Amino acid sequence: MSPNAGAIRDVFADWAEGRFSAGADLLDDDVVFIVHPSLPEAGNARGPDGVRDYMRGFLRQWDDYRLSPRSIEEIGDSVVVNILQLGRGRTSGIDGEVDSYMVFTFAGGRVTRIESMLEREEALAAAGGSGEG
């Protein structure tokens, strides 16, 4: 496993335990975070502060929220993670489960782009450099 894939594996180990600040040190100052329209919370954020603010807003809607990686694969400079998301809505109290993908693109050991999407085809396109954003 490459250093990039190993770093993402370690981040997900922390995220699985609810430590969502893990990985902030990997973010490039100009990181771009894109949540594709296939997911309910679609949007874009720029820079570490933008990513943090987006995630804080997203996490506020959950009483309990966990991410668990099903697989981690490298494609070029990107790491594609198939994720099981589990959560309980803060307002609804309803438990939910979603299978999704995140693509982390690296340059010089730093994450320069993160994309989150529902379908594997979207993830592969993003890892191949043809993702939208």
Q: Is 50:28 a contact under the CB 8 Å cutoff?
A: no
Whether 87 is in a domain gets the answer yes
Residue 90, token pair as written in the block: 């803060």
pLDDT tens readout for residues 34-47: 999 988 788 999 99
Whether 132 is in a domain gets the answer no
Q: For the residues 94-123, what does the mean pLDDT come to?
A: 92
Whether 25 is in a domain gets the answer yes
Task: Give the count of domains, the chain.
Answer: 1
Whether 71 is in a domain gets the answer yes
CATH number at residue 40: 3.10.450.50
- Write out the residue range of the structural domain in which residue 120 sits: 3-127
Share of the chain above pLDDT 70, in %: 92
- Distance, in Å, from the CA atom of 45 to the CA atom of 55, rounded to the nearest integer, reads 10
Q: What integer best gives the mean pLDDT of the chain?
A: 87
- Alpha helix (H) ranges present in the chain? 3-16, 47-59, 120-127
